[in-house]
Amino acid sequence: MTEVPDHLLERSRAARARLTGEGGDAPAGDSAAPAGAAVEKAPAAAAPVVAAAPEIEKAPEPVPPFVQAALDRKKVPSWAFFIVLMLPIWAIFYVGTLERPPVEGILTAGEGVYEGCAGCHGAGGGGGSGYALAGGEVAKTFPDAASHIWWVVNGSSDAGTPYGDPAREGGQRIALEFSGAQMPSFAEPLTSIELLEVVYYERVTHGELDADSEELHAIEHLVDHAEDFELPGHFEVGTTIEDIQLFIDMAMADLAGDA
């Protein structure tokens, strides 16, 4: 007796079922037919999957040379971190050089300090609601630098109080108020150097005094060698005109000795 392989029997049964009973009453073998067809199709469908699988697995194996090169390369050299670290520090120094051009001297410095006075006295020292400083006026009020410095150190105690040179041309000045504010004391907000700078600036620009005068040279000398003259960091409130004159005299004597 010849052995008919099962799968052939299965196929013939399926064929028979298709010829005889398609759409009709389901013959015994009918339910098996689609199942058989599915079984037969399955390997065909599985084939591409099996074929595709090795491709997927193989893909990562050969690393392209450029990828390998990228993997092998040392990414950031260690010194680069140092450069990055130094950048903000460099930036601070760079900005510093931009904001402070080679100190143009005491006049430029004083102009900068005067910005804090301009609100009351006007950008050009025109006076606003108070007396004008400009046009030589401030030098008439304070013929000597020491009394001018003293005024800015101590400010005005009361509106109505006379100040400055009593023999002032046109009468002595009397302290005013600008919208309720008197001349403030700048002993605290300004360093002694800033205070000397702003007074120098006012005397030269508003006071129209000669920057080549002995007194203005002395103030510049005092600012440049503040430590040598043991200038305090701040002039205290209550500092007298005589105290201030002493520093100016020392600087003058030093300049005279140098010459």
Which positions lie near ligand HEC, rule CB under 6 A? 116-117, 119-121, 130-131, 133, 137-138, 141, 148, 151-152, 156, 164, 173, 175-178, 181-184, 186, 198, 202
Structure tokens at 123: 């950008």
Least Å distance, CB 151 to ligand HEC, is: 6
Whose CA is closest to 139, among 58, 205, 203?
203
Tell me if 137 sits within 8 A of 202, measured CB to CB.
no
Q: How far is the CB of 190 from ligand HEC (least distance, A)?
A: 6
Rounded to whole angstroms, the Cα distance separating 137 from 117 reads 16
Q: Is 109 left (phi over 0), alpha (psi -120 to 50) or beta?
A: alpha
End-to-end CA distance of the chain: 142
CB of 139 closer than 8 Å to CB of 208: yes
Closer to ligand HEC by Cβ: residue 151 or 247 = 151
Q: How many whole angstroms separate alpha carbon 29 and alpha carbon 8?
A: 14
Q: How far is the CB of 168 from ligand HEC (least distance, A)?
A: 9
Residue 143's nearest CA partner among 173, 181, 182 is: 173
Query: In terms of CB distance, is 30 or 197 closer to ligand HEC?
Result: 197
Cα–Cα distance measured from residue 37 to residue 229, given in angstroms and rounded to the nearest whole number: 112
Among residues 182, 191, 161, the alpha carbon closest in space to that of 173 is found at: 161
Considering the complex, state which of residue 14 and residue 149 has its C-beta at the smaller distance from ligand HEC.
149
- Amino acid identity, residue 205? T
State the nearest-atom distance from the C-beta of 130 to ligand HEC, in Å: 2
Q: Considering the complex, what minimum distance in angstroms separates the CB of residue 101 from ligand HEC?
A: 23
Q: Which is nearer to ligand HEC, 36 or 164 (CB)?
A: 164
Residue 32 vs 134, nearer CB to ligand HEC:
134
Nearer to ligand HEC, 116 or 232 (CB): 116
| Minimum gap (Å) between residue 230 Cβ and ligand HEC | 23
Residue type, position 172, single letter: Q
Residue in the shown chain whose Cβ atom is closest to ligand HEC: 130
